[in-house]
Amino acid sequence: MAIAHLFEYYKPKNLDELVELLFRYKSKARILSGGTDLIVRIKDGFEFPEVVIDIKGIKELSELKFDGKNLFIGATVTFNEIIENDIVKEKYPLLWESAKSVASMGIRNRATLAGNICSAVPSLDSGPSLLIYEAEVILRSKEGERKVNMNEFFLGPRKTVLKEDEFVYGVNVPLPNKKNGSSYVKLGRYNGEDLAQVGLGILVLEGNEYRIAHCAVGPVAARARKIEKLLNGKPLSDSLIEDAKKLIEEEISPITDVRATKEYRIHMAKVMLERGLKAAVDRMNGKGTPYGEKLI
Amino acid sequence: MNKISFMLNGEKVSLYVEPNDLLLDVLRDKLGDKSPKYGCGRGDCGTCTVLLNGKSVRSCLILAVEVDGQEIMTLEGLSKNGLTDLQKYFIKHSSFQCGFCAPGMIVSLEEFLKKNPKPDEEEVKEAISGNLCRCTGYVPIIRAVMDYVKNRGG
């Protein structure tokens, strides 16, 4: 289907041009990078931008770099660039594993992590890992720069703290300072393109510290703070896992839709919590299923 | 209208497009390159797959203006000098029935096999998980790829 809606196309060469364009057009503009979400939204008639701003010509937005303590992911970095980066695989295996679960090769060649968080759909695969690593979103506008913790970025389905003349410059992901193991468990119908019915990210740090976040089972991806509180300070055991599973229903609020029922999602979230916790602890201890291998 | 120029299958093309023209439509309707097909129009089925600077992408989700100055390769380009070896294995294993998914499958696999020359079956399945085939059940497609991988260069 061709696109019926008409718009103007701009491709700024640097950040100053981008900032000016956004300031001029504000909510009438939409930023285009991978287009895997925006183009579909325009085709479907959910978005009617007067201006589409392609940011792929701005070199510094394509940076993916690690300085020893922090990983910077520029706005136009694609999921496949993240997956193919050895540092990400070695230092941020949770991010790597969740990036690998995104759609299919042809989509991951275009779709960006920044676009994923800006679309802010409840099922976003990059959500749990960024929430768990306590990533920081760097926002820019004519007024300057501000940084927002990932845990404060989402306001609702397709709603974020982004103002109309702001854009995401990139995301900073701090390196956890202790030995750790992690897992991203995704429930979907098939591999390619499928959205998560339940997504669960888990990070276990040495000294029995746990971080858990979910997606697709609430209006926004979020941390499971009650479960974290229960687990923190305790070594993982079968009885502890059982207690944690009991808290799942307090943490998540899934809906029934065409992809899965509410009951199924709750049931599977418990199964996934158990498998994900065990896998994360095993991986921290250098055993268990390798990263990237499906846990469900 | 915007004037764009890009490399299509190794040859430079220049033309005028509207900002909302999709690459798929421009390739098929303006440039006569018919191998990329229109399937779902939303990136799910993979039948419109082309290579953009060597990477498989969905031409139904890319604006034609975005490829100004870039390189596009379609199945026509890949088989410019006759069928590719991979295509021959697809024929050997009768890997297609209606053939609508064929260009997307081959283009996706060309990129994948370049990156990963000795994949196992699971990796092949993952690589084509974004290319839907409604006829074959995928079995003869996977068989063709594995046979090709086993025999090539040997």
Q: How far apart are CA A148 and CA B83, in angstroms?
A: 53
pLDDT at A166: 97
| For B57, nearest residue in chain A (alpha carbons) | A106
Length of chain A: 296
Q: How far apart are CA A70 and CA A87, in angstroms?
A: 11
Q: Which fold has domain A59-174?
A: 3.30.465
Q: Which residues of A touch B (CB under 8 A)?
A: 1-9, 11, 32, 35-36, 39-40, 42-43, 52, 54, 56, 80, 103-107, 109-110, 190-193
Nearest CB to B129; choose among A43, A80, A104: A104
Q: Which residues on B lie below 8 Å from A11 (Cβ)? A: 65
For chain A (length 296 residues), average pLDDT per consecutive 10? 93 98 98 98 96 98 98 98 98 97 95 98 97 98 98 98 97 97 92 83 98 97 98 98 98 94 97 98 95 91
pTM above 0.80, yes or no: yes
Q: Which residues on B lie below 8 Å from A56 (Cβ)? A: 66
pLDDT at A32: 98
Nearest CB to B130; choose among A40, A52, A103: A103
Q: How far apart are CA A19 and CA A12, in angstroms?
A: 9
pLDDT at B153: 62
Say whether A43 sits in a helix, a strand or coil: helix
The DSSP output letter for A195 is P
pLDDT at B56: 98
Q: Where in chain A is the domain with CATH 3.30.390.50?
A: 180-284
Please tell me the distance in Å from B24's CA to the nearest CA on chain A: 9
| For B42, nearest residue in chain A (alpha carbons) | A40
Q: How far apart are CA B89 and CA B73, in angstroms?
A: 21
Residues of chain B falling short of pLDDT 70: 153-154
Q: Which residues on A lie below 8 Å from B22 (Cβ)? A: 2-3, 39
Superfamily of domain A180-284: CO dehydrogenase flavoprotein, C-terminal domain (3.30.390.50)
Q: How far apart are CA B100 and CA B1, in angstroms?
A: 32
pLDDT at A189: 80
pLDDT at A190: 73
Residues 6+ away with beta carbon under 8 Å from B11? none
Q: Where in chain A is the domain with CATH 3.30.465.10?
A: 59-174
Q: Where in chain A is the domain with CATH 3.30.43.10?
A: 8-54
What is the CATH number assigned to the segment(s) A8-54? 3.30.43.10
- Count CB pairs under 8 A between chains A and B: 97
pLDDT at A131: 98
**Torsion region of A196: left, alpha or beta (phi above 0 gives left; psi -120 to 50 gives alpha):** beta
